[in-house]
Amino acid sequence: MGPVPLKLLLSISALAVLVAAAVNDATGDDEYTWPQKKVPLVHEKRTVRLDSSEFSAKPQSELHGVCGIECQRGLPEPSLDDLEKILSYETMYDNGTRTLTTVAVQELNASDWTGSSPSRARRRREVYGTDTRFTIAEKQYSLKYPFSTSVKISTGCSGVLVSPKHVLTAAHCIHNGTDYLDGVQKLSVGVLKERSRRGKGRKGKGRKGKGQRNKIEEETDEEVPEKRKGKQQGRRNRSRRSAVSAQPSFRWTRVKQMQVPKGWFKGISESVVADYDYAILELKRAQKTNFMDLGVIPSVKKLPAGRIHFSGFDDDRPGNLVYRFCSVSEESNDLLYQYCDAKPGSSGSGIYIRLKEPGKKKWKRKIIGVFSGHQWVDVNGVQQDYNVAVRITPLKYAQICHWVHGDSSKCHAT
């Protein structure tokens, strides 16, 4: 599906929200409200310096042999020692040095890693039938929240701003489980910006140069002497129409450091690698655009239609932001299984939903997962393909919040 009238799409979404709100008010239940709860705390224990990476890994378009839903049902509950091992993390700095930080987990409850029981329905992914993706080509939408929180990673993935200086993305976008990808040593993040259409020319008191004339023609809010209005009105209208349809470009910012959980690394815990496919990138320069908060919910399927949303930069639509939404078909403790139409390049996008803030009538979007992409998982010994997202659990919330704020006391509650 190509460019579509976003006004129609947003109107439908607004209607769905109003219906959900009416049902919520009528029943008096709070399942459409962001839950408030305390989360565990992740504290640093020790940090040691590691050898520099070789940056020799090649990106993987698909992951194979991942423990599937039936497999995950049979996994024993992890011990506290196992969790602390998995949540320990590696930090890669822009100068190529890296460190390993071990952590201690405190105030952990059994419900912090026990999720809901998923259903068994399965269905093949890929873009099938009608492509349900929406290209956000017009800048009056792509440069506004929530679309403006989406970013492009120089390795070819997507990500989402979770603070002015932090981007949440998929771990496999920078690390293949064994080593960092080639190109990560100069990792950059692209934030959408309006493409400049100003001309450059000579300045002078006499006849205006070409660049100066272009400036008058393209700055549609500039006052023009009355005698030139008629002559330039047509040019202004064309310029205005062109500016509306012009695709935005990117403002690139280098990454200062990146953090990846040890649970993603091969050899740590082979059965849960996909569960920890997330990473945080800290930017050298804070961004002025809005960011999106993290959220934790016990079950996605209990929401209206079990619907999730995300936007990314799919490879088959270069230069465009692509938005989609769909219902979650299955969920496990750590993964969301769904069939949102997607192509490579969208990996690392922030999965978000919209719920009411507690005690308020205002609805707020929060990130509840990271799109991992097309994965082959082991289902009773048979390889089955899915579109998979890593869900934000209380433990992952605590870890990511600690990475962003550097202070666990700010991460005690969602």
Question: Measured between alpha carbons, how far is 234 from 211 in angstroms, rounded to an integer?
Answer: 18
Give tens-digit pLDDT for 15-71: 444 444 444 444 344 668 898 888 899 999 999 999 988 888 887 655 655 666 666
Phi and psi at residue 184, in whole multiples of 5°?
A: -70, -25
For residue 195, name the pLDDT band (cuts at 50, 70, 90): low
Decide if 124 is inside a domain.
no
Give the tokens for residue 333.
Answer: 């403790």
pLDDT at 358 over 60: yes
Burial class of residue 350 in the structure, from the number of CB atoms within 10 Å of its CB (0-12 exposed, 13-18 middle, 19+ buried): buried
Host domain of residue 78: 6-117+130-194+249-411
In this prediction, residue 397 carries a pLDDT of: 95
Domain assignment present for residue 177? The answer is yes
**Minimum mean pLDDT among 151-155, 206-210, 291-295: which range?**
206-210
pLDDT band at 210 (very low <50, low <70, confident <90, very high): very low
The CATH number covering residue 359 comes to 2.40.10.10
pLDDT tens column, 80-93: 898 999 999 999 99
In-domain check, residue 362: yes
In a domain, 204, yes or no: no
Q: How many domains does the chain have?
A: 1
**Contact call for residues 368 and 168 (beta carbons, < 8 A):** no
User: How confident is the model at residue 13, as a pLDDT?
Assistant: 52
For residue 210, being part of any structural domain is answered with: no
pLDDT digits (tens, 9 = 90+) for 366-406: 999 999 988 776 666 777 777 889 999 999 999 999 999 98
Q: Which of 121-125, 188-192, 265-269 has the lowest mean pLDDT?
A: 121-125
- Three-state DSSP at 235 gives helix
Asked whether residue 376 is assigned to any structural domain, the reply reads yes
CA distance 170 to 369: 10
8 Å CB contact between 307 and 88 = no
> Rounded to an integer, what distance in angstroms lies between the CA atom of residue 30 and that of residue 355?
10
Does residue 4 carry a pLDDT above 70?
A: no
55-64, 184-193, 251-260, 315-324: which range is least confident on average? 55-64
Q: What single letter denotes the amino acid at residue 243? A: A
Residue 125 located in a structural domain: no
Q: Which range has the top average pLDDT, 189-203, 209-223, 261-275?
A: 261-275
Share of the chain above pLDDT 70, in %: 68
pLDDT, mean over the chain: 77
pTM of the model: 0.79
Q: Which structure tokens are listed for 7?
A: 């006004």
For 103-160, how does the pLDDT look when each residue is reduced to its tens digit (9 = 90+)?
999 888 755 544 444 444 444 445 545 677 888 877 778 888 999 999 999 999 999 9
* pLDDT, position 22: 45
Answer whether residue 181 shows pLDDT above 80: yes
Q: Is 222 helix (H, G, I), strand (E, B) or coil?
A: coil
Whether residue 100 is contained in a domain is answered as: yes
Closest CA to 72 of 270, 360, 272, 264: 272
